[in-house]
Amino acid sequence: MSDEEREERELDLTSPEVVTKYKSAAEIVNSYNSEPYITVRTHFVDMGCQIDGFIAVVAHTHVLQQGPVTGRAADVIAAANTAAEVAMRLVRPGKNVVLSVSAPETRVDDAEFEENEVYAIDIVTSTGDGKPKLLDEKQTTIYKRAVDKNYHLKMKASRFIYSEINQKFPIMPFTARALEEKRARLGLVECLNHDLLEPYPVLHEKPGDLVAHIKFTVLLMPNGSDRITSHSLQELQPTKTVDDPEIKAWLSLGTKTKKKGGGKKKKGKKADEAANEEAKDENSQG
């Protein structure tokens, strides 16, 4: 094994130290996520923590009200929760990349999930047409350095700000508030105009439409998918139910992998049906 291969292996989930760092980061965001003054802000807050570059993230939509959530608000949140549960069963070794909508703008290279990988599952549901738009560029305050781009900046303020970004946030997203305020206003514009920064725009649905957001971190361990970040479920009373047979079949499956050469047999009709459905799916995928 080469030094490069050895170093890469030491940085994935085969290293107990790496798993510990991911789970420690997850414990931090989960503990904050349990506090009522942090868990809300509808669709505007993502929370993340990194330990030595190993990142755990979480986000969810919470309705500010007493009692259970009803009507369309309950429906859109329940849809996001259901999608999250299905995603947990789709994101596992051997499966291909998952796209909710296949279109030219969402096309990605064919890829297969592999053991010891880490993913942030980001799900957004809407009562609208699902095509949010940027209304005001000035609302964008979060950026990330485009590591593959280069340009010789002309303005002194731009060079100062870009140097500060390189030092403080070489690969991680950052807020403009973290930069030297007076120079940031001028410097960010030139950096953006020459694609040195990637903006995280604030997108809006049509007035009256509702949006729900769920994000969580998953470790693809040898024994199955391990969701390490989560949130407390708000009581929902949706008007819709899951009727699609394929979705119901996925929801009936577990997220852990049965160990070979032992273990208790599944009992009951539902367990047998789930096993049959999983076998059918594996055959169709392979």
- Tens digit of pLDDT for each residue in 111-128? 788 999 999 999 999 998
Which range has the worst mean pLDDT, 31-45, 101-115, 131-145, 211-225?
31-45
Residue 8 reports pLDDT greater than 80: no
How confident is residue 235, by pLDDT bands cut at 50, 70 and 90?
very high
At 242 the pLDDT is: 93
At 144 the pLDDT is: 94
Beta strands in the chain (DSSP E): 47-51, 54-60, 69-70, 118-126, 133-134, 142-145, 174-175, 197-199, 203-204, 211-221, 224-227, 236-237
Mean pLDDT of 199-214: 91
At 271 the pLDDT is: 46
Q: How far apart are CA 82 and CA 75, in angstroms?
A: 10
At 34 the pLDDT is: 60
Q: How far apart are CA 266 and CA 268, in angstroms?
A: 7
How confident is residue 38, by pLDDT bands cut at 50, 70 and 90?
very low
Mean pLDDT of 208-219: 94
Beta bridge partners of residue 66, listed in sequence order? none
Which residue type sits at 121?
I
Q: What tokens does 195 get?
A: 């694609």
The pairs formed by 175-182 with CB atoms below 8 angstroms and a separation of 24 or more are: 175/141, 175/142, 176/141, 176/142, 176/143, 177/141
Determine the Cα angle at 99 with ends 43 and 195, to 5°.
65
Q: Which of 87, 99, 94 is nearest to 114 (CA)?
A: 94
Mean pLDDT of 192-208: 92
At 91 the pLDDT is: 87
- The model carries a pTM of 0.76
Residue 98 reports pLDDT greater than 90: no
